[in-house]
Amino acid sequence: MAKLTKRQKAIAEKVEAGKAYNFEEAATLLASLPAAKFVESYDIAVNLGVDPRKSDQVVRSATVLPHGTGKTVRVAVFTQGPAAEAALAAGADRVGMDDLAAEMKGGDLNYDVVIASPDAMRVVGQLGQVLGPRGLMPNPKVGTVTPDVATAVKNAKAGQVRYRTDKNGIIHTSVGKIGFEADKLKENVEALIADLKRIKPASSKGIYVKRVTLSTTMGPGLVIDQSSLNV
């Protein structure tokens, strides 16, 4: 058996296996664990009662967290004319059409979110092999293909998170950073779960939100007692 590091030992001593934690207790415990060499994120995993093999049970959407994620988000927008001016005014880092596509094909992909107006999809469509593998391809289901690019930019900058169920029916996303107050972190998680319930597939039967797990980037996952959340 591999030897535990000093950090892993310290974590194992504090974490109670099999326990469902009150949310505030979990957030406080995770923040108290030995720190990594960077500011870690708080991440959430929500196990949903869906069958991801069925197309009508794939859960994919986006949620604007009330307190953001604590990350600086770089946004590129494909659009033109007045919409381009509106996107820049809303805070977009780069706006363009064919010129922006050429930059991305050349390897300039230092963006966290890519947004496009519908009329720009003729240009964006050429970038599937570039943007797709990085999860950057604009998609109307998560609000990144829209005529209202300015609002999409504002949402992205405000801390909108995008997610999709994986092959096990679990969604994963960041909900904050170490240093967030527990009540703000909790409100972010509650907003996410409220949105997940709002978009519950009609064909999903039985318990929908089966398990909620909170972790930090390099830390353990703590199961949350859902009765401690206002959802």
Domains 18-69+160-228 and 75-158 share a fold: no
Q: How far apart are CA 124 and CA 122, in angstroms?
A: 6
Q: What residue segments make up the domains of the chain, in order of their start?
A: 18-69+160-228, 75-158
Please give the CATH topology (third level) of the domain spanning 18-69+160-228: Ribulose 1,5 Bisphosphate Carboxylase/Oxygenase (3.30.190)
Reported pTM:
0.85
Q: How far apart are CA 33 and CA 222, in angstroms?
A: 12
- In terms of Cα–Cα distance, which of 45, 39, 58 is closest to 175? 45
pLDDT of residue 176: 96
Q: Cα–Cα distances in Å, from 58 out to 118, 163, 192?
A: 24, 11, 16
For residues 126 and 101, the answer to whether their CB atoms sit within 8 Å is yes
**From the DSSP assignment, how many helices (H) and strands (E) are in the chain?**
8, 10
Architecture of the CATH domain 75-158: 3-Layer(aba) Sandwich (3.40)
37 — pLDDT class (breaks 50, 70, 90): confident
Please provide residue 47's backbone torsions phi and psi, each rounded to the nearest 5 degrees: -85, 120
Token representation of residue 217 = 């980037």
Statement: residue 2 has pLDDT above 70: no
Q: How far apart are CA 33 and CA 7, in angstroms?
A: 8
pLDDT of residue 129: 94
Q: What is the average per-residue pLDDT within 153-171?
A: 95
Give the pLDDT confidence of 107-135 residue by residue, as tens digits. Answer: 999 999 999 999 999 999 999 999 999 99
